Amino acid sequence: MLKPLANKKATAPGGRFAIVASRYNAHYVDAMLRAARAELKRAGAKEVEVVRVPGAYEIPVVAMRLARTQAGSLSAIICLGVILRGQTSHADHIGRAVSHALMEIQLAHEVPVIHEVLLLENKEQARKRCLDKKFNRGTEAAQTALAMAKVMRGLRD
C-alpha cells in the first residue's frame, strides 16, 4: 500500500545537492524534480545542481562522475527517473541495472545516492507517485537526501 509522505522538517544549512533526472517520461520526472527542488530549498540547501540525461539507463554514469569529482563537497546525489513496464522484459533489465549501479556508486564513493528511479506497472501508478503532492516521490527523495546528509555529517572517519 502506498503511504502518504511524512511531514518532515529537516534542514540543510550549507548543504550541496545534485539531482540527476531523466528526460524520458518527462511529464512524471519533471514533477518529481520540481518537488525535490522545492523540498531542498525549503530546507535551506546552499546549492542544488541539476543534470538532465536522456533516460534512466544514463543516470548512473552521471551520478558516478558527480560522486568521483565532487564527493567531498556533495551532501547527496538524488536520482530521478520513471520506467514504465511494457510488453517485454526490457524495463526489468533497465531497473535492475540502474539499481545495482547506484548502490555501487554510493558504496565506492561514500556519498549518499538516493534512488528514485521508479519502475512502475502503468501510468496510473506514475500519476500517483509523481503528480500527486500527497505521494510525490521527489519530495520523499529530497527528505531522504536531507536525512542521509545529516547522518553522514555525524559520522567520524
What is the C-alpha to C-alpha distance for residues 111 and 108, in angstroms, rounded to an integer? 8
Give me the residue label for grid cell 514504465.
Answer: 84
What is the C-alpha to C-alpha distance for residues 103 and 97, in angstroms, rounded to an integer? 10
Q: Which residues are catalytic?
A: 90
User: Across the chain, which distance is largest between two alpha carbons, in Å?
Assistant: 48
- Do residues 115 and 140 touch, judged by C-beta distance below 8 A? no
Pairing type for strands 113-120 and 47-53 reads unpaired
Beta strands in the chain (DSSP E): 16-22, 47-53, 76-84, 113-120
What is the C-alpha to C-alpha distance for residues 157 and 147, in angstroms, rounded to an integer? 19
